[in-house]
Amino acid sequence: MERTLKVVQARHTIEDIIFRYADAVDGADMETVGRLLHACTVTLPGDVVLQGGNAIRDHYSRTVLFYDREERVVPYQRLACSPRTRHITSNLIYDFDTAVTTADVQSYFTVYQTLAGTSRIIAGGRYVDRFEFGISGWTMVTRRIHVDQRGDMSRHAQAAAPQGGTRV
């Protein structure tokens, strides 16, 4: 019974991190993305590796296209612009170790973007995450992003050299 309670509590906290990440990206709050992933290594498509919250925040701030209310592309300014997206995360699958101190979590994501009154799915894929439980609670330590269905992302992200990241 004790393990079951630990799993239920862990799932709740892990879901909160995963869903807050999507909300922060969609809300143009890359500082929160950086805080949520402060101890994380993110591997993006193309094997670009970002280590730590500052590198992740800086990369997203630089490569995601942000829009003002008139849908003009503008530089990133926290909470004052928008990528005009909705990241929908679903189908979470958990694999906890026996002691409930690590968790491998796989989930699906779908990204919608709305511009000029039209919503389109621009990407779909999987997150493969690893979480660890430590003194400060549950923390995402790795995230591998797999884009399995790629739509027109030309109005969502610009190609960028992996400043603050490396290619593996």
Question: Which CATH number belongs to the domain containing residue 44 in this structure?
Answer: 3.10.450.50
| Confidence at 168, pLDDT banded by 50, 70, 90 | very low
136, amino acid identity: S
3-state DSSP helix/strand/coil % of the chain, to nearest 5: 25, 45, 30
Q: For residue 51, give every residue at least 6 positions away whose Cβ sits within 8 Å of its Cβ, in sequence order, or none.
A: 41, 165, 166
pLDDT value for 162: 47
pLDDT per residue over 38-76, tens digit each?
999 999 999 999 999 999 999 999 999 999 999 999 999
- How confident is the model over 158-163, as a mean pLDDT? 56
Q: Is the pLDDT of residue 164 over 70?
A: no
| Size of the chain, expressed as the number of residues it contains | 168
How many structural domains compose the chain?
A: 1
pLDDT per residue over 90-127, tens digit each?
999 999 999 999 999 999 999 999 999 999 999 999 99
Long-range contacts of residues 64-72, Cβ cutoff 8 Å, at least 24 apart: 64/25, 64/30, 64/156, 64/157, 65/155, 65/156, 65/157, 65/158, 66/28, 67/115, 71/115, 71/116
Q: Is the pLDDT of residue 22 over 60?
A: yes
pLDDT value for 88: 98
Structure tokens at 138: 């549950």
CA-CA distances (angstroms) from residue 64 to 11, 67, 87, 135? 29, 10, 13, 33
Return the percentage of the chain with pLDDT > 70, whole number.
94
Q: What dihedral do alpha carbons 28, 30, 33, 34 form, nearest 10°?
A: -170
pLDDT per residue over 122-148, tens digit each?
999 999 999 999 999 999 999 999 999
Give the angle subtended at the CA of 99 by the CAs of 108 and 22, to the nearest 5°: 25
CA distance 63 to 65: 6
Q: Is the pLDDT of residue 165 over 70?
A: no
Q: Is the pLDDT of residue 26 over 70?
A: yes
Question: Which has more pLDDT, 164 or 2?
Answer: 2
pLDDT value for 19: 98
| Confidence at 1, pLDDT banded by 50, 70, 90 | confident
Q: Is 113 exposed, middle or buried (0-12, 13-18, 19+ CB in 10 A)?
A: buried
pLDDT value for 133: 98
Structural domain including 20 reads 2-167
Residue 146, helix vs strand vs coil: strand
CA distance 166 to 168: 6
